[in-house]
A and B are shown apart, each in its own frame.
Chain A
Amino acid sequence: AQSVTQPDIHITVSEGASLELRCNYSYGATPYLFWYVQSPGQGLQLLLKYFSGDTLVQGIKGFEAEFKRSQSSFNLRKPSVHWSDAAEYFCAVDLTGGGNKLTFGTGTQLKVEL
């Protein structure tokens, strides 16, 4: 079955440290790939997306993600985490190509220690 896996439910990093959040998908073709962030009391905000082309995509707030076809992965990275990055992060895929039906991972809760 098609699925999106975020293996880490919780991650804690120190402020200023680097961050990598993992995302793997299970699907035959390359889907559209997204990372969203959800802060308490706010709606999901798009960090970045990959449709085609350069496999390293830059997003907002200093985030980037790399698509690796061989590993069916789309990991999110940030070189230096800020305390304000504490939130829940969701990886999502669009398997239909129409941009409508997003399948979300279970999310990774990021805690930042000062």
Chain B
Amino acid sequence: GAVVSQHPSWVICKSGTSVKIECRSLDFQATTMFWYRQFPKQSLMLMATSNEGSKATYEQGVEKDKFLINHASLTLSTLTVTSAHPEDSSFYICSARPTGLAGGPTGELFFGEGSRLTVL
């Protein structure tokens, strides 16, 4: 099946620094990618929809200046957590839908393995 890879898998940073997480579709192109956040023992919460070549669409309550999303190519979206604080510690997951007929509204979403961020 299609593969979505996230890097890094885990990262520890100091409070006040910025951290970039990459999401790559390895064997397909994705016009649209999605970023989720998962708190311990809670469900995945959609943060934003990343659109190649245009601005991301953020869900209500998500700070767009704190969580910068860049979808520079059809295979790469990045999430930058700016001026990270301990409350930003979480598990961040991306997903992507293949572009084209296979990726229509009912097409399968493929998920990355997630990136665990710990802010000290």
A interface with B by C-beta (< 8 Å) = 4, 9, 32, 36, 41-46, 49, 51, 90, 97-107
In the assembled complex, which residues on chain A have CB atoms less than 8 Å from the CB atom of B44? 44, 90, 102, 104
Q: Chain B: residues with CB nearer than 8 A to chain A?
A: 1, 4, 6, 9, 32, 34, 41-46, 49, 93, 95, 97, 104-114
Contact A46-B43, Cβ < 8 Å, known A99-B97, A100-B32 = no
30 sampled A-B residue pairs with Cβ under 8 A: A36-B111, A42-B113, A43-B4, A43-B6, A43-B93, A43-B95, A43-B111, A43-B113, A43-B114, A44-B44, A44-B95, A45-B1, A46-B109, A49-B106, A49-B108, A51-B106, A90-B44, A99-B104, A99-B106, A99-B107, A100-B32, A100-B97, A102-B46, A102-B109, A104-B44, A105-B43, A106-B41, A106-B42, A106-B43, A107-B43
In the complex the two chains form, what is the Cα distance from A35 to B46 in whole Å?
17
Whether B93 contacts A44 by the Cβ 8 Å rule is yes
Q: What is the bound-complex CA distance between A10 and B28, given in angstroms?
A: 35
Contacts of A99 in B (CB 8 A): 97, 104-107, 109
A contact patch SS: loop
Q: Which single residue of chain A is at the shortest CB-CB distance from B39?
A: A106
CB-CB under 8 A from B45, the residues of chain A are 104
Cβ-defined contact, A101 with B46, below 8 A = yes
User: Which residues of chain A are within 8 angstroms of B110 by Cβ–Cβ distance?
Assistant: 43
**Chain A to chain B: the 9 pairs with minimum beta-carbon distance, closest first:** A43-B111, A44-B111, A99-B105, A104-B43, A104-B44, A43-B113, A106-B43, A43-B112, A98-B105
* Closest A residue to B34 using CB positions: A100
The CA-CA distance from A45 to B1 in the complex, in Å, is 10
Within the complex, what minimum Cβ distance (angstroms) separates B76 from chain A?
Answer: 16
Docked Cα-Cα span, A32 to B109, in Å, equals: 13
Output the residue of A43, A49, A101, A104 with the most chain B CB within 10 A. A43
A46 to B46, CA, bound (A): 17
CA distance A42 to B4 in the complex (A): 10
Residues of B within 8 A of A105 (CB): 43
**In the assembled complex, which residues on chain A have CB atoms less than 8 Å from the CB atom of B105?**
97-100
User: B residues within 8 A CB of A101?
Assistant: 46
Taking CB atoms, residues of chain A closer than 8 Å to B104 are: 99
